[in-house]
Structure 1
């Protein structure tokens, strides 16, 4: 009889159903947070109201650490990785609560608790690395970044408190190893991406990095046409996407563009003009009196500005 009761208890989910629900709610908030940032970075969502000031959010999100991959007119922001992580937490939190899983519910529940603990630990540690970068390197405040860090830490606390762990030793051992691995990997990544690292191009205080690609006849012609038609590129020296846009043109063509520096501490700054124009993100193009933010493929700039010249971009 005692053996039967013990077996019955082991077959049950020792974790808390309500903690799962709380984690699902927090993960949903995280999905909204990181999803909004990602859509904004991809130009699919309008401006976001950032408590504490849009400039701080833009400076953090558009910093060298805000993007993990770039292509021709396309980039994968770090917020997209956060979005995937929150989606994973959401799925693992609610999956054992769904009907029709009675046969494998115990095993599924235990596996998802380990999954929740693993993902939450990685998110929490990496979030601390990002907060450190925000405070000490970027020196700006981003409400959405702080919110994501707080959610990640809370998810870790809930995973530890609500998982019903019978033996905390394996949990502690795996958690420490994972935390150290994520911390080491995060610090290495942060140092590799750091634009101020030894060996990185030095351009002087408040100056954008040098453009390294070469222009051709088409990009030169497009740049000259944009300037002649009154097009303006509003930029910030610390913005990697602004540099990405310039790299599409090449060094010689970039020199023909009219680029307005919006960062208050940038060289030849025109912050007041940027404020008057209502610039909230970088780069922002003003073409034919209309503002359009984000990195633009050269063919799109040609179409928007009614360019009719050679188009070997």
Structure 2
């Protein structure tokens, strides 16, 4: 055995050690992006739990509208908190996983679902609220960057046929997930109406009261949320039926509405959010009529 032959096993061992070191080393670009996402969503979660408005979002701005809409929460928790958990899982998997292929699959799957949900929420804000949130778009950009980075780093050891089947399963699971979100945010799963709120909303309508507002007004949405599923019974007038930048409805101009929301009850203007007790008192609603089972 010559000298070059004796050196080859040592070179092979060194090469094998280098490969193991690469497999155990963190995925630094993904880790940095995920940590940025954790800082972003952590801040938004803090603001949401305090009931405040994020920085650079003025009152009744597009950002403020989205942050206070019903799409900003999932299962009673701020959507930003779910994003924080997602970014945390991405950071944890990018930091340390023993098998390179396992790590790649988990990172790809998390980034895929996160990107899909983020795109869904962006489309909802655009189509339903005609609004975009800079903070939300920043999170979308981070998830897109993570997904692109992970996709480009697909290891050669990933089998082609198995990869195609796995991608199909992920697509089906994503469609089911987004369908579940759409169902959750629809009125199909809404709880039953509270009898007293239903009676008050009906009384407001029959007594000639009018609730003027716009679909892009956060306070108007908050006013509706006070009535839960009975909000559809309110005597509501949309003052911007042609979109946020469209003309104001003639009925709102004739009623001299210049703030949203504005209630007109018994001929008096109330340009503010009114709680349930105030609405009952101003409209002379009698609670005892609905107190009996």
TM class by smaller structure? 0.5 to 0.7
Q: What CA distance in whole angstroms lies between the structure 1 residues aligned with 2:73 and 2:239?
A: 19
The unaligned stretches of length 5 or more in structure 2 are 1-8, 205-210, 243-248, 262-270, 278-286
* Gap change, CA 1:53 and 1:142, over 3 Å in 2: farther
Aligned residue in 2 for 1:117: 108
> What's the TM-score, normalizing by structure 2?
0.58
Aligned residue in 2 for 1:272: 258
CA contact (8 A) 1:52 1:143 kept: no
CA contact (8 A) 1:262 1:274 kept: no
Aligned residue in 2 for 1:76: 77
Aligned residue in 1 for 2:226: 245
Q: Which of 148, 155, 179 is residue 139 of structure 2 equivalent to?
A: 148
Question: In structure 2, the residue corresponding to 1:106 is in which secondary structure?
Answer: coil
CA contact (8 A) 1:212 1:251 kept: no
Q: What CA distance in whole angstroms lies between the structure 1 residues aligned with 2:139 and 2:166?
A: 20
Structure 1 residue 120, shift from structure 2 partner: 0.9
* Gap change, CA 1:169 and 1:53, over 3 Å in 2: farther
* Gap change, CA 1:57 and 1:135, over 3 Å in 2: same
CA contact (8 A) 2:44 2:54 kept: no
* Gap change, CA 1:20 and 1:66, over 3 Å in 2: closer
Q: Kindly name which structure, 1 or 2, has the bigger radius of gyration based on alpha carbons.
A: 2
* Gap change, CA 1:182 and 1:126, over 3 Å in 2: farther
Structure 1 residue 11, shift from structure 2 partner: 2.0
Structure 1 residue 155, shift from structure 2 partner: 1.1
CA contact (8 A) 1:126 1:182 kept: no
Aligned residue in 1 for 2:93: 92
* Gap change, CA 1:149 and 1:18, over 3 Å in 2: same
Aligned residue in 2 for 1:213: 193
Q: What CA distance in whole angstroms lies between the structure 2 residues aligned with 1:86 and 1:234?
A: 40
* Gap change, CA 1:84 and 1:24, over 3 Å in 2: closer
Question: In structure 1, the residue corresponding to 2:98 is in which secondary structure?
Answer: helix
CA contact (8 A) 1:120 1:152 kept: yes
The unaligned stretches of length 5 or more in structure 1 are 70-74, 97-104, 202-210, 225-232, 276-283, 288-295, 300-308
Higher relative contact order (CA 8 A, sep 6+): 1
Structure 1 residue 119, shift from structure 2 partner: 0.8
Answering whether residue 21 of structure 2 is matched by residue 12 of structure 1, we say: yes
Aligned residue in 1 for 2:284: none
Structure 1 residue 50, shift from structure 2 partner: 4.5
* Gap change, CA 1:117 and 1:106, over 3 Å in 2: same
Q: How many residues align?
A: 243
The within-5 A match list for 1:62-211 is 62-69=68-75, 75-94=76-95, 96=96, 106-107=98-99, 111-162=102-153, 165-169=155-159, 172-173=163-164, 176-177=167-168, 179-189=170-180, 191-193=182-184
* Gap change, CA 1:153 and 1:212, over 3 Å in 2: same
Structure 1 residue 150, shift from structure 2 partner: 1.1
